[in-house]
Structure 1
Amino acid sequence: MITSYAALSEFGRSLLKRPTLSEGLPIISEYAKQVSGAQRCSIFIYNPNIQMLWTTLADETEKIMVHQDDGIVGHTLKEAKPIMVNNPYDDPRFLHTIDNKTGFVTENIASIPIFNSARRIIGVFQLLNKPGGFSNEDVKFMIFFAHYISGYLELAMLFDDDAKLLAKETK
């Protein structure tokens, strides 16, 4: 894991210049992949009104919506703790339909809940396909990183027209 305080500080400054989710999520994703060595990053936002998690950012795919009870992402939400799976096709919680739909082959997953300032889960941060699999050290960094980005996500969701529009579309 390549991380330094200077790089994290620079990441934070560039993120603050991007007030909308559509601008900020790609920056978060790229930084997380660079630091972790993962192939893909997905950031799911939770809508408790419809009990769904959605992402407009899942590298190389369109919007993904998952019910709160489904997949590793749903179990991360339900358990409110990190889940690391280095062999997802053998895990009964794994949602095969997304790989089937996108053609992507998930080799490993690290899935971390994102909490808001009131300690409610507002989303789930996932990294996929790290060569050699994910370690406990990776998960510790991702927990820290989820805390780091949570304030930005909470504010962006309050003020972002795209997030408000998606929430209305799905009601």
Structure 2
Amino acid sequence: MASHKKAKGAREEPSYAEQIKALSEISKAISSDHYLEDILRLIVTVTANVMGSKICSLWLLDEETKTLSLEATQSMSEEYLKERVLHLGEGVVGGVAKEKKPIRVYNVLEEPRFKEKELARKEVLSSLLSVPMVVRGKVIGVLNCYTSYPHHYTDTEEAVLTTVANQAAICIENTELMVKTKVIQEELETRKQVERAKGILMKELKLDEEEAFGRIRKKSMDTRRSMREVAEAIILAHEMGT
């Protein structure tokens, strides 16, 4: 590979120790009970540190709408934090997601595919490395790193960011799966409690199944409490003999 003179302010490639530390921090998040928003913020912060980036941003793909939305960045700039959406295949980010391949841009202001030139001028963004976040062969998002100076990203840097991105993708998918599992468990528990409360009303008030369910639903609407809360109150009253 041809060597390039480093611009003023440029840093060396991420060391092996830095890579391991970054992957370790993201791996810890996989088994944590943090909210997804906190995990995404951790990912961009760790990535920015290991890559020496001015701005690191994380975009997630919505499979249904085929759009990517900016979900996290370590930047404190109000301008950069504004909500943004790109279609699959649109711009550098959309292209990376569609092609499942990294893109290196030496000067974002001269890159035809780069959509946010005005923002880049305001934030003094120069070079970009954009990689897909892949888990089990499926792209779930894109991870971007920007420098404030002209920089030729190397194969090593691309490999490091790709490894971090894929580890982050596993973390995100696991977190979303845990959330879905928790929701399903709560729904099943609610159904179980409602069924039990329904049985109590049917036995004590001589109601049929539809009437008992109607009582619970009406109580829920009148008191603005959830069906589960009403059901649990009925069960508690029954157990206390009231």
Per the normalisation by structure 1, the TM-score is 0.81
Runs of 4+, deviation exceeding 4 Å: none
Residues 86-129 of structure 1: CA distance to partner in whole angstroms, max 9, x if unpaired?
111111111026717x9323211111101122x11110111111
- Structure 1 unaligned segments of length 5 or more: list them: 162-171
Partner of 2:27, secondary structure, is helix
Matches within 5 A, 1:100-119: 103-117=122-136, 119=137
Distance 1:51 1:98 in 2: 25
Q: 1:55 aligns with which of 53, 70, 83?
A: 70
Q: Aligned match of 2:164 in 116, 141, 145?
A: 145
Q: Which residue of 2 aligns with 1:34?
A: 49
Displacement, 1:77? Answer: 1.1
Q: Which amino acid aligns with 1:67?
A: H
For 1:53-92, what aligned pairs fall within 5 Å after superposition? 53-58=68-73, 59=75, 60=77, 61-92=81-112
The whole-number CA distance in structure 1 between the counterparts of 2:89 and 2:25 is: 36
How far apart are the structure 2 equivalents of 1:57 and 1:86?
Answer: 23
2: CA distance between counterparts of 1:158 and 1:98? 37
Between Structure 1 and Structure 2, the one with more helix by share is: 2
Taking the aligned partners of 1:103 and 1:20, their CA distance within structure 2 comes to 32
Matched residues in 1 for 2:67 and 2:16: separation? 33
2:147 to 106, 116, 129: 129
Of all paired residues, the percent bearing the same amino acid is 22
Question: Comparing both structures, which one devotes a greater share of its residues to strand?
Answer: 1
Query: Which of 1 and 2 has higher RCO (CA within 8 Å, sep 6+)?
Result: 1
Q: Which amino acid aligns with 1:64?
A: R
Q: C-alpha displacement at 1:143, in angstroms?
A: 1.0
Q: Which amino acid aligns with 1:156?
A: T
Total equivalences in the alignment: 159
Code of the aligned partner of 1:91: E
State which drifts further: 11-20 or 80-89. Answer: 11-20
Q: Distance in 2 between matches of 1:121 and 1:138?
A: 20
Label 1:91 to 1:62 Cα distance change in 2 as closer, same or farther (>3 A): same
Amino acid corresponding to residue 79 of structure 1 in structure 2 = E
Shift of 1:26: 1.2
Cα RMSD for the two superposed structures: 2.4
Q: Could you tell me which residue of structure 1 aligns to residue 183 of structure 2?
A: none
**Distance of 2:92 and 2:134 partners within structure 1:** 17
Amino acid at match of 1:151: I
Identify the range of structure 1 (142-151 vs 123-132) with the bigger mean alpha-carbon deviation: 123-132
Structure 1 residue 14, shift from structure 2 partner = 4.9
Q: Which residue of 2 aligns with 1:12?
A: 27
**What amino acid is aligned across from residue 65 of structure 2 in structure 1?**
I
